[in-house]
């Protein structure tokens, strides 16, 4: 600011100053000074212009992909894949497996193993934490079975223990986990007993229809076909007093003593003393802590009674060797197996699989310590360039036994191997595009506790940010690849499988085609992907090598699922483990590094169509309903005379059913176009362009961002907030859920399926509308 007092003075001075300043200089002097500067400026300007023009004309064309890579100092994906393959080492997987299987690590126990997992992540340069949840679970105190004779005297007391084997050191550990059922009811039962095949709904229905009364009976069933907790549920619903479940060699794929195989440890057949532990939670109602359905089990949280979700009758598992003296008592009593069905008879000669009831009584006692105790998840995190966008990969750490070399620590060892590989990449300067979270869950065995509570705790963040969840529970328990997946991830899996060599030659993909035509199953339940896919609508995948034809019998949840068994019978070269590590790593990199989220959408549409066609096969009435719009429908199908359903049922469901079919058809078309569009975006993305096309690149990036948003929310379109009927409202996905009568195996379009099974036409109409709305929503996202 000018000082007003000085202004006059200043105004007086200029003349003098000006005069002084403008004192003339010799012309030549001035001229030469200006011309030097001018010349310099001229040259400089020309030079700069020339340089710019030169470099622009000769500037290399680059792709948007390369530009971004430079910007973020990203390492090309192919280089990362090479680095991944180079660092996967069967020897280190073996060492990790050995450590995981050295001591018992039942859910909520062995904090040291969680700590070691976290420390090992940290050692590899991956930040790790151990979030805990206080869960309601049981630990076994004591169990016993007594068989009585006609006079009420104890005639037989099974040991309920598995044999200690000299060859297999884990079987001789002093602190074994007893044979028991997770979430089994603590109590005793005494009464007559019956044999009820696999304990499926249809088995109980069949026996009930033949007049068998289950009330106060102890029901003996075989393992297999469905989730064990549902066997107990069905028995409980019929008034049974207790359930005993044994493993029949008939389900061992022919690798049996009868067929001349020796039993483990001398051969690949089942050791006759082996017992399958496991949870009897009602998995198809809701996983997670049964006292906190839908919210996280934090300290001091409110809890509800668990008995909608866990049994209120006791149960125990038993070996086939020890069930023989009991089931022998049924010989010649009650209905014969051949009157019931071909699978009622098993593979044991000592008893004839008669249903009973027995003349003699059995007593089952089961003392459990129910407690609320912390479970320890381990969460490792590799922060990406786009820190929020997240890919989660996970495996559970807890096992029913000290070993668990198959379930789950074949997956744990592979997860650690992947952490090691990622750690090496981090050291060489890698930062993934999206954040990668590595999860080592606790308490999966009891009922997917660790993953469910964590995901319920972070539901908002996961819903908003997680691109996909890739689960590997048992990475190796045999030599047959199984894959279950959200259809969006199918193609990514196939491509990864094509890049990895199979231990017996060829690629993982080629062998998979040979084994089952590279079939990908839908997701049911039974592992930690459940909360991600079924509750949050996050595309998930689950895979591994499991027991199949010709494989050594897998001693599931038995002490013989040990390091020694894995190292001698199942994967002595640790080559199957290595193959899984590579496939899992490739999928993770595909998801973390792909600028365009690598989902394919058309397969989703085609599978939806297939699922509806499967329902039509299962329920011929749907064909009639579909045709009902036809003016001649009643003549054509003769429904006037059908007593299965009313004409009004056809009328009310016909329109919604045809709407669903049309919506799916529309979605398939939009999805095919959208896949073509994203494929085009990808081509553009890796195409080289001259510099002056930068607006095009900018537009491309915007288009990719938009496409990603659509891909990201697509699977969420299939969530129905109110969830499934029948107390299954925790399950929100309208396409995938565990079967209400199977647990492990998935039910497709579960709401509709169950309504049809129940012949509940109002519910059929309701679910047709709900599913159609979801398909339309998905369609509007991508069209």
Residues near ligand NAG (CB under 6 A) are 99, 112-113, 116, 139, 141, 369, 371, 373
Closest separation in Å from C-beta 206 to ligand NAG: 41
Catalytic residue among 444, 600, 602, 603: 444
Q: Nearer to ligand NAG by C-beta: 358 or 409?
A: 409
Give the nearest distance from C-beta 612 to ligand NAG in angstroms: 49
Whose tokens are 């193609």? That residue is: 491
Q: How far apart are CA 683 and CA 685, in angstroms?
A: 5
Closest distance between ligand NAG and the C-beta of residue 398, in Å?
13
Among 192, 200, 212, smallest CA distance to 334 is for 212
The rounded distance, in Å, linking the Cα atoms of 411 and 559 is 17
CB of 141 to ligand NAG, least distance (A): 6
Between the two ends of the chain, the Cα-to-Cα distance in Å is 63
C-alpha 604/C-alpha 616 separation (Å) is 19
Closest to ligand NAG by CB, 68 vs 372, is: 372
Judge whether 733 counts as a catalytic residue: yes
Catalytic residue from among 389, 733, 754, 765: 733
* CA atoms in the 13 A half-sphere facing the CB of 370: 12
What are the structure tokens assigned to 477, written together?
Answer: 């328990």
Closest to ligand NAG by CB, 109 or 486:
109
Minimum CB distance to ligand NAG smaller for 112 or for 129: 112
DSSP of 428-447, one letter per residue?
A: TT---SEEEEEEEESSHHHH
| 3-state SS track over 644-662 | CCCHHHHHHHHHHHHHHHH
Number of Cβ within a 10 Å radius of residue 13: 11
Residue 119 or 635: the one with the smaller Cβ distance to ligand NAG is: 119
Q: How far is the CB of 139 from ligand NAG (least distance, A)?
A: 6
Minimum gap (Å) between residue 103 Cβ and ligand NAG: 6
Phi, psi of 677 (to 5 degrees): -65, -45
Residue 262 gets which letter from DSSP?
P
List, in sequence order, every beta strand (DSSP E) within 480-602.
Answer: 480-485, 540-546
Place of tokens 């049809």: 756
Nearer to ligand NAG by Cβ, of 92 and 578: the residue is 92
User: Between the CA of residue 232 and those of 220, 274, 343, what are the distances in Å?
Assistant: 10, 21, 20
Angle between helices 111-123 and 409-427 (to 10 degrees): 20
Shortest gap between Cβ of 188 and ligand NAG (angstroms)? 17
d(CA 293, CA 538): 19
The 3-state DSSP class for residue 395 equals strand
Handedness of CA 429, 435, 436, 440 (dihedral sign): positive
* Closer Cβ to ligand NAG, 369 or 428, answer by number: 369
- Minimum gap (Å) between residue 123 Cβ and ligand NAG: 10
- Rounded Cα distance between 135 and 148, Å, is 38
Q: Distance between CA atoms of 461 and 378, rounded to whole angstroms? A: 18
Report the nearest approach of ligand NAG to the CB of residue 567 (Å): 16
**In Å, what is the CA distance from 76 to each residue of 81, 125, 316, 389, 694?**
9, 21, 54, 19, 22
> Per-residue b/e over 403-424, b at no fewer than 16 CB within 10 Å?
bbbbbbbbbbbbbbbbbbbbbb
Q: Is 444 considered catalytic here?
A: yes
Considering the complex, state which of residue 112 and residue 237 has its C-beta at the smaller distance from ligand NAG. Answer: 112
| CA atoms within 13 Å, Cβ hemisphere of 503 | 19
Closest CB 91 distance from ligand NAG, rounded Å: 13
Tell me the residue length of the chain. Answer: 783
- Nearer to ligand NAG (CB atom), residue 55 or residue 371: 371
- 3-class secondary structure per residue, 731-776: CCECCEEECCCCCCCEEECHHHHHHHHCCCHHHHHHHHHHHHHHHH
Look up residue 663 and give its two tokens: 């919506």
Residue (94 or 564) nearer to ligand NAG, CB: 94
Positions annotated as catalytic residues are: 444, 648, 733
């Amino acid at each position: 600011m000018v000082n007003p007092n000085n202004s006059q003075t200043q105004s007086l001075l200029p003349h003098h100053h000006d005069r002084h300043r403008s004192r003339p200089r010799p012309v030549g002097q001035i001229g030469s000074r200006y011309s030097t500067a001018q010349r310099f400026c001229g040259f400089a300007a020309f030079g700069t212009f020339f340089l710019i023009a030169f470099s622009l004309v000769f500037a290399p064309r680059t792709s948007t992909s390369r530009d971004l890579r430079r910007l973020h100092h990203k390492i090309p994906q192919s280089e990362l894949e090479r680095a991944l393959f180079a660092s996967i080492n069967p020897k280190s997987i073996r060492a990790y497996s050995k450590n995981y299987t050295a001591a018992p690590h039942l859910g909520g126990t062995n904090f040291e193993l969680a700590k070691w997992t976290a420390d090992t992540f940290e050692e590899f340069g991956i930040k790790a934490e151990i979030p805990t949840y206080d869960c309601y679970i049981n630990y076994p105190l004591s169990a016993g079975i007594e068989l009585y004779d006609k006079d009420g005297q104890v005639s037989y007391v099974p040991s309920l223990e598995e044999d200690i084997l000299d060859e297999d050191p884990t079987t001789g550990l002093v602190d074994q986990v007893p044979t028991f059922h997770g979430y089994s009811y603590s109590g005793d039962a005494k009464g007559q007993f019956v044999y009820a095949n696999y304990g499926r709904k249809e088995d109980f229905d069949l026996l009930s229809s033949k007049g068998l009364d289950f009330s106060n009976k102890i029901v003996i069933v075989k393992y297999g076909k469905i989730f064990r907790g549902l066997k107990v549920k069905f028995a409980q619903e019929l008034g049974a007093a207790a359930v005993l479940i044994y493993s029949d060699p008939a389900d061992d794929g022919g690798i049996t003593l009868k067929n001349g195989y020796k039993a483990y440890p001398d051969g690949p057949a089942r050791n006759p003393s082996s017992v399958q532990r496991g949870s009897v939670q009602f998995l198809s109602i809701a996983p997670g802590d049964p006292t906190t359905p839908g919210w996280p089990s934090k300290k001091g949280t409110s809890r509800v009674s668990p008995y909608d979700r866990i049994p209120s009758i006791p149960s125990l598992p038993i070996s086939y060797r020890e069930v023989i003296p009991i089931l022998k008592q049924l010989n010649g009593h009650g209905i014969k197996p051949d009157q019931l069905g071909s699978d009622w008879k098993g593979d044991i000669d000592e008893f004839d699989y008669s249903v009973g009831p027995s003349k003699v009584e059995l007593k089952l006692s089961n003392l459990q310590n129910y407690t609320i105790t912390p479970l320890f998840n381990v969460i490792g995190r590799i922060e990406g360039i786009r820190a929020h966008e997240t890919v989660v990969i996970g495996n559970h750490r807890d096992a029913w036994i000290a070993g668990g070399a198959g379930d789950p620590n074949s997956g744990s060892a592979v997860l650690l191997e992947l952490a090691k590989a990622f750690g090496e990449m981090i050291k060489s300067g890698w930062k993934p595009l999206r954040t990668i979270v590595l999860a080592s869950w606790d308490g999966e065995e009891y009922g997917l506790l660790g993953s469910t509570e964590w995901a319920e705790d972070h539901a908002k963040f996961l819903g908003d940010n997680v691109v996909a969840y890739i689960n590997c529970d048992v990475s190796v328990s045999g030599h047959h690849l199984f894959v279950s997946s959200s259809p969006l991830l199918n193609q990514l899996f196939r491509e990864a499988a094509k890049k990895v060599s199979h231990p017996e030659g060829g690629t993982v993909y080629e062998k998979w085609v040979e084994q089952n035509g590279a079939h990908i199953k839908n997701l049911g339940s039974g592992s930690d992907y459940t909360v991600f896919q079924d509750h949050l609508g996050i595309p998930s995948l689950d895979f591994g090598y499991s027991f199949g034809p010709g494989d050594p019998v897998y001693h599931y949840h038995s002490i013989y699922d040990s390091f020694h068994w894995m190292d001698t019978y199942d994967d002595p070269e640790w080559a199957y483990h290595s193959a899984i590590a590579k496939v899992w790593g490739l999928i993770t990199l595909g998801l973390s590094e792909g600028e365009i989220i690598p989902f394919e959408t058309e397969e989703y549409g085609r599978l939806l169509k297939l699922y509806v066609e499967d329902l039509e096969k299962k329920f011929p009435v749907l064909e009639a309903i579909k045709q009902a719009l036809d003016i001649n429908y009643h003549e054509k199908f003769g429904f006037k005379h059908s007593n299965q359903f009313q004409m009004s049922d056809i009328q009310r469901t016909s329109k919604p059913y045809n709407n669903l079919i049309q919506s799916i058809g529309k979605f398939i078309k939009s999805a095919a176009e959208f896949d073509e569009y994203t494929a085009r975006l990808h081509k553009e993305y890796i195409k080289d362009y001259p510099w002056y096309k930068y607006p095009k690149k900018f537009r491309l990036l915007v288009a990719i961002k938009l496409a990603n948003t659509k891909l990201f929310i697509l699977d969420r379109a299939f969530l129905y907030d109110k969830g499934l009927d029948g107390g299954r409202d925790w399950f929100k996905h309208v396409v995938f859920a565990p079967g209400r009568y199977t647990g492990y195996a998935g039910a497709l379009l579960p709401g509709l399926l169950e309504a049809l099974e129940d012949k509940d036409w109002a519910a059929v109409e309701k679910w047709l509308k709900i599913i159609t709305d979801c398909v339309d929503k998905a369609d509007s996202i991508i069209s």
